[in-house]
Amino acid sequence: MKRNVRPNNDGGIIFGFIILAVGVLILLKKLDVFYPDWLLSWPMILIAIGVITLVKHEFKSFFGVVMLSLGAYFLLEREFGLDFGIQRFIFPIALIGLGIYLITQKRKEQQVMNDIQDQIRSKSKVGASSGSSYASSSSSEDNESVGATYNQSGQNKSYSGMSGVSGTSFSDSVSIDSIMSGINKRMLTKNFQGGKLTAAFGGIDLDLTQTDFTGMVTLQVDVIFGGIKLVVPPHWDVRVEVTNIAAGVEDKRVYRQTEVDSDKVMVIKGTVFFGGLEIKSY
């Protein structure tokens, strides 16, 4: 039985080192040991959030880049007196960047949909041609060959990018960044491979009740001043391994007398910072 490999980049370790460093700095301050005050300034919080998010998402997180950039900017301006003269432009620039990001995600999703439709049409044409040219026995063999080729091509191409908007998705993995917005997503794949969810000043509702998989998958969640609600089948073995800071993590799954399927393990990892994570089942 094939099992999905869990990623090794555990942001919780980075978060633990950050907490350790903060504790050491506070202790040094109590002992009157000198160190730069900017190490405990509020821009460093933004920088820490950005670093943790980037590490967890293999340095491919738009939100992590934004938080790291804002933290670095405010740190240089406030603590080192470097005036870049762009403070009044930060808000419109942030809106422009957010708009470009959303447009890019939408175009990526549309391209994926077009590729899937092209493959479906191609498969239908080949199947019809095979049925008219051969006898029933040879036609059956050809259709099986075509189906195998199609499945192989589908496995070779990843459609993880098509999940940035509300609606229904047939993608095998999920990748949602909800920034100052709300997203409702329903997954219908039967080969779920996990993914990542980021909610910053926004919310995500993810319905996995029609989803299936075999083995173990990892779902990365990062919540900062927002909320994520997951609806999962009650027979899944869901293991929550998130780090929560001034946040709430609630498991509201319905108790069932049937046994939990040990061959369907979903591990939820990540950080919930001033937000909430809710897990439900029906």
The 10s digit of each residue's pLDDT in 35-79 is 788 888 888 888 887 887 777 667 777 777 888 888 888 888 877
SS3 249: strand
Q: Which residues share a beta bridge with 230?
A: 206, 279
In single-letter form, the type of residue at position 35 comes to Y
Per the structure block, which two tokens stand in for 44?
Answer: 């460093």
Residues in the chain: 282
- In this structure, what is the dihedral angle of CA atoms 201, 101, 105, 110, given to the nearest 10 degrees? 130
- Distance of CA 146 to CAs 143, 172, 222, Å? 5, 21, 41
pLDDT for position 254: 72
| Domain coordinates in residue numbering, the chain | 11-85, 160-282
Exposed, middle or buried by CB within 10 Å (0-12, 13-18, 19+), for 133?
exposed
Mean pLDDT of 191-199: 90
SS3 content of the chain, % helix, strand, coil (to 5): 45, 25, 30
- Please state the pTM of the whole predicted model: 0.52
CA 192 to each of CA 114, 171, 187, 240: distance values in angstroms, whole numbers, following the listed order: 21, 8, 9, 18
Rg (C-alpha) for the chain, rounded Å, is 23
Segment 79-138, tens digit of pLDDT: 777 776 666 777 787 778 777 766 776 666 566 666 666 766 776 776 666 555 544 444
Which CA distances in Å does 220 have to 21, 145, 282?
A: 24, 37, 23
